[in-house]
Amino acid sequence: MIDRIHLNVKIPSNELYSFALGQLEGIRELKHRLVPKGNISISKGKYLTRLNYYPTKKNLAANIIVATTKKKHRYFQLCLYPSKFKIGEFKKFSESLAMFFDIFTYENLFTNSRISYVEFAIDSLTHTAHDFIPYRRRCNMSEIFVEHDGTMGSTYLGSTKSDTRFCIYDKKKQLEKSSPVPEKTRTRIEARLRNVSMPPCELISKMKNPFLTLQIADLKKAKQLTEEIEWQSFLLRCLETGSAKALSELKKAQRKAFNSRLDSVRASWWNPNYVWKYFENALLRIAPCKD
């Protein structure tokens, strides 16, 4: 699925910038008509004004941002959370956008904007986070977030400034904060991409599968490879700090050998080519609504 996507377009003049800011206020004033079961709020910062769109209460599905950079570049940004929209809600949101913005209609944004950020997500209903080792070639940074109760949380591969960063976490635990989850296991594997710099309409023809750069090793098989102290210590470090950090602590020869060992126990269930076949279906969730 496409879990989150940011669409950016330049605002060419101060007049249009002021108009866009005014329209955000107009949308908020009509919130009871536009989202009778939800809410629309506005938050302001030094350089931006953000409208928060809730089709239903506590269910943030979109942000509209009108902002300027420190270098005085004006821009309009639409942030979508496609999975948050229920049946019919995305169409209503698109219609509201067209009602208030002639130039920033969703149809125009889908064709003419540039994607500054996007999250592609895959959910596993059979494999629990931290029961496998995700790793990447030529990745030097990883971390594992520790929850307040001391349990291991999200695993990150890549830095916050990387064009591609992976995040693996317990999605069920997150969802259960708001409602019951029927699945026994729900582990999310997320590819977070920055600076994509293409319009959404070109994703189907130009977007390469980011999950091909992620490998997953079977932890149980890895532990059974050898009882060698260095290897077992390395696996423990992978579970504490992530594979990239653990590998970076090794000397070059040992790092190469341990990478090969991880390759030898790749998880058979991880098939990024297979899941990417459903990418077109994910794109349909953000395609302009047809009458």
Complete domains list, the chain, with CATH: 2-112 (3.30.160), 120-281 (no CATH)
Q: What is the pLDDT of residue 290?
A: 64
For the chain, residues with pLDDT lower than 50 are: none
Which amino acid, 158?
Answer: G
Which token pair is 69? 């950079």
| Distance (Å) of CA 79 to CA 2, 146, 274 | 12, 28, 28
Q: What is the pLDDT of residue 182?
A: 85
pTM of the model: 0.92
Are 96 and 27 in contact by the 8 Å Cβ rule? The answer is yes
Q: What is the pLDDT of residue 147?
A: 83
67-105 tens-digit pLDDT: 998 778 999 999 999 989 998 999 999 999 999 998 999
